[in-house]
Amino acid sequence: MTKEKELVFGHKNPDTDAVVAAISYSHLQNELGFNTEAVALGEPNEETKYVFDKFDYKYPRIVTAANGEVKSVMLVDHNESQQSLDDIGDLQVTHVVDHHRIANFETTSPLYYRAQPVGCTSTILWEMYNEEDVEVPGNLAALMASAIISDTLLLKSPTTTDEDKAALKSLSKTAGIDYESYGLDMLKAGTNLDSKSTKELIDMDAKSFEMNGKNVRIAQVNTVDIDETLKREAEFTADIKSENKSEGYNLFVLLITNILTSDTTGLVLGDENAVSVFENALNTKVEDNKASLPGVVSRKKQVVPPLNEKF
């Protein structure tokens, strides 16, 4: 008896881990007897494109809603419904593998849920492959290693755990790559912002959060030169203001992160109250819409929790 088909996917505005984790979880589940297809909820970003080109891997089919194609789904690398398929409310979630906080997530039935506070979903999946004694194919190992490099900024982000280190080492070995040199090339490929409009950049790796009734949008771009990126500050500011208006965001934060020095400058725009909450939460001053955030590289660990606390 063939199981009923399910879709597996990561969050909207996919980054490398969101897409790769969907592929690797789908592969694992199919090996275990499920009938799944990995899909992506959006186009690849520059870094993800570099990874899929480099290892000659086919990017998954892009969907934004299930539209009755399946009844049930498996989520990776997210759980909050506003980051998921548009019609997630009509679907049964049977499995989740994630490394984020849990919020805005509710099911009517028991499910399989596995979250671990590690740097990358692909690290958890690597552990699951080991537990189930399923081999990771070489080119998939390269993708999973890339996802870990991406999420942990080459193991330098404060979200990095010993498990991420072990996973990256093992997967790099399987894939036959030198993760130090490859990782730097890959991260730099992701900082090539010139080909993107500022509108595209503030959408690219943006996530929405509901915090005590307020709509908070947090985007992040990686760079090797913050000043260079800020040459387009006026355009960024205009685009964010217009998006706050059209989407009803109370607060928009664009984190511009230098991946070499692990520092961030935040462009912070929104309701006066919300901006004060941000200053208070991040212990910083917003001047000319900009806040200096030395040592901050992780939205998930260093920005969302204090903001959520203060709201």
Which residues would be at the binding site for a second copy (CB under 8 A)? 99-117, 131, 300-301, 304-305, 308-309
* Shortest distance (Å) from residue 18 CB to a second copy: 16
Could you give the angle at the alpha carbon of 210 between the alpha carbons of 160 and 83, nearest 5°?
65
Give min distance, CB of 237 to a second copy, in A: 29
Residue 86 is given by DSSP the state: T
Minimum Å gap between C-beta 110 and a second copy is 4
Q: How far is the CB of 300 from a second copy (least distance, A)?
A: 7
Q: Under a CB-based contact definition with an 8 Å cutoff, are residues 158 and 298 in contact?
A: yes
Residue number, 131 or 194, with CB nearest to a second copy: 131
By beta-carbon proximity to a second copy, the closer residue of 33 and 176 is 33
Distance CA 304, CA 311 (A): 11
Number of other CB atoms surrounding residue 207 within 10 Å: 21
Report which of 218, 212, 204 is spatially closest to residue 304, judged by C-alpha positions: 218
- The DSSP string of 129-175 is HHHHT-PPPHHHHHHHHHHHHHHHTTTTSTT--HHHHHHHHHHHHHH
Shortest gap between Cβ of 283 and a second copy (angstroms)? 17
Nearer to a second copy, 101 or 196 (CB): 101
Cβ proximity to a second copy, 104 vs 208, nearer residue: 104
**Residue 299: CB minimum distance to a second copy, A:** 12
Cβ closer to a second copy: 50 or 311? 311
Which among 155, 158, 240, 238 has a CA at the least distance from the CA of 206?
A: 240
Q: Between 91 and 267, whose beta carbon lies closer to a second copy? A: 91
Residues found in the chain: 311
List CB contacts of 206: < 8 A, sequence separation 6 or more. Answer: 13, 217, 218, 219, 220
d(CA 183, CA 203): 24
